[in-house]
Amino acid sequence: METILSVSELKKSYKDHEVLKGVSFNVKKGGIFALLGSNGAGKTTMINILATLAKSSGGKASICGYDCHAEQAKVKKSISLTGQYATVDGLLTGRENLILISKLKRIKDPVRKAEELLEKFNLTKSADKRSSTYSGGMRRRLDIAMSLIGNPKVIFLDEPTTGLDPQNRIAMWELVKEMANSGITIFLTTQYLEEAESLADDIAVLHDGKIVANGTADELKELLPKGMIRFTFASDNELSKAELELAEYPIVSKEVDDFCISILTEGRVDELTKILIKLKHANIQVSKLEQVTPTLEDAFLAIIGHKKEGDK
């Protein structure tokens, strides 16, 4: 497929702090690309550079064949950006927000365009209410509707479901899929791993200023050894003892309340037998044993070398 966005050895520093350390990746035209990373990994910095809101310290980036530094005006006409928080004008109604942006982008019939988007984003009933009265999900829908004005080739969605409840998050997922199906390329950053797994055609993991893995969700999960095993024990004490005994194996997650620990093995029968014998000699009783299919979250945590939030 054709490449619509290209990043090569991109760098960004703030004084002595190096945020991006030579990042490279390509985004295919159409579909959904997800950039994953922990808080502070540099995802928003990356989007700001691509959206011409910040200058890089080195390297190159292009969108639709236009250089993000040398041809900013052409890049801006090709993209749209929706940040982590809705940027609608709360004093204006939903309709007025859409008409205003349509006029700024010199759309021929701004009123008609507003009507089309209000209907498309299920906002017609609230069109003449001040957007400050909208729920979080409605404001987010209005924000994205505004981003579609001008027919951008690439839309950047920076943490689009931040602050939304589960129902609105699912609704937003469907909206993102619809936009991708219409031919728009979606560049998504998210802290929700299940969101990337559900939506993205391709994923890149940004960690410590570098891309440490990329591919489809299935390809990233294939990076893990085949033998992911979850052990359940009878008590917290048994869990603690088991963690010490299994220290040589990478721990994917530890569920303290359920006395569970998940480790990565090579998936061999003799290896599992060795582990069980080791636990038995240490007088540690295994209540339950199960082989687990890794999720994208498991792969992400293993790739960046972190445990789940709240683990001890």
pLDDT score, position 300: 85
| DSSP assignments along 21-81, one per residue | EEEEEEEESSSEEEEE--TTSSHHHHHHHHTTSS--SEEEEEETTEETTTTHHHHHHHEEE
pLDDT score, position 225: 62
Residue 8 falls within a domain, yes or no?
Answer: yes
Residue 194 CB partners (closer than 8 Å, separation 6+): 295, 296, 297
> Domain of 34?
3-88+134-221
Residue 74 falls within a domain, yes or no?
Answer: yes
| DSSP assignments along 167-225, one per residue | HHHHHHHHHHHHHHHTT-EEEEEES-HHHHHHH-SEEEEEETTEEEEEE-HHHHHTTS-
Contact 12, 48 (CB under 8 A): no
Interval 43-59: pLDDT, tens: 989 999 999 999 999 99
* pLDDT band, residue 304 (cuts 50/70/90): confident
Contact 303, 212 (CB under 8 A): yes
CB atoms within 10 A of CB 79: 24
CB atoms within 10 A of CB 303: 16
Interval 87-111: pLDDT, tens: 789 999 999 999 999 999 899 999 9
Residue 93 falls within a domain, yes or no?
Answer: no
pLDDT score, position 167: 83
Q: Within this chain, do residues 182 and 79 fall inside the same structural domain, yes or no?
A: yes
Residue 82 falls within a domain, yes or no?
Answer: yes
Q: Within this chain, do residues 13 and 142 fall inside the same structural domain, yes or no?
A: yes
What CATH number corresponds to the domain at position 257?
Answer: 3.30.70.100
Residue 185 falls within a domain, yes or no?
Answer: yes
| Mean pLDDT over the full length of the chain | 89
Q: What is the pTM of this model?
A: 0.77
Q: Within this chain, do residues 69 and 187 fall inside the same structural domain, yes or no?
A: yes
